Amino acid sequence: MKAPGMTASLIAPATQICAFALGCAVIHAARAHALALPHVLAAVAVVTALFVLLSASLARASGDAMRLDGITTYDAA
């Protein structure tokens, strides 16, 4: 029979090893793709800004309740 604390004492180091390996993989990927990373981050920032502006404009739109009484329109024939 195993001691009750045996499994827990083996899981903690295994978790630390997995976290270390994942950290190494992330650092290696960042170094390998160092030239592309700023472009990807810039594109993500632009797309995020566009979504924020779009959602703000949709939230601000008044819908069908907009009044056009003070606007003069011309027929551009």
Q: Domain range for residue 50?
A: 4-61
Residue 15 counted as domain residue: yes
Tell me whether residue 25 is in a domain: yes
CA atoms within 13 A on the CB side of 17: 5
The CA-based dihedral angle spanning residues 5, 7, 13, 15, taken in that order and rounded to the nearest 10 degrees: -130
Domain count of the fold of the chain: 1
Higher-pLDDT residue of 45, 41: 45
C-alpha span between 71 and 77 (Å, rounded): 19
The band of 15, judged by pLDDT with boundaries at 50, 70 and 90, is confident
- pTM of the predicted structure, to 2 decimals: 0.43
**CB of 30 closer than 8 Å to CB of 37:** yes
- Is residue 17 assigned to a domain? yes
Query: What is the rounded average pLDDT of the residues 12-37?
Result: 85
Q: Which two tokens stand for residue 9?
A: 């004492």
- Is pLDDT above 90 for 9? no
Residue 77 falls inside a structural domain: no
Residue 49 located in a structural domain:
yes
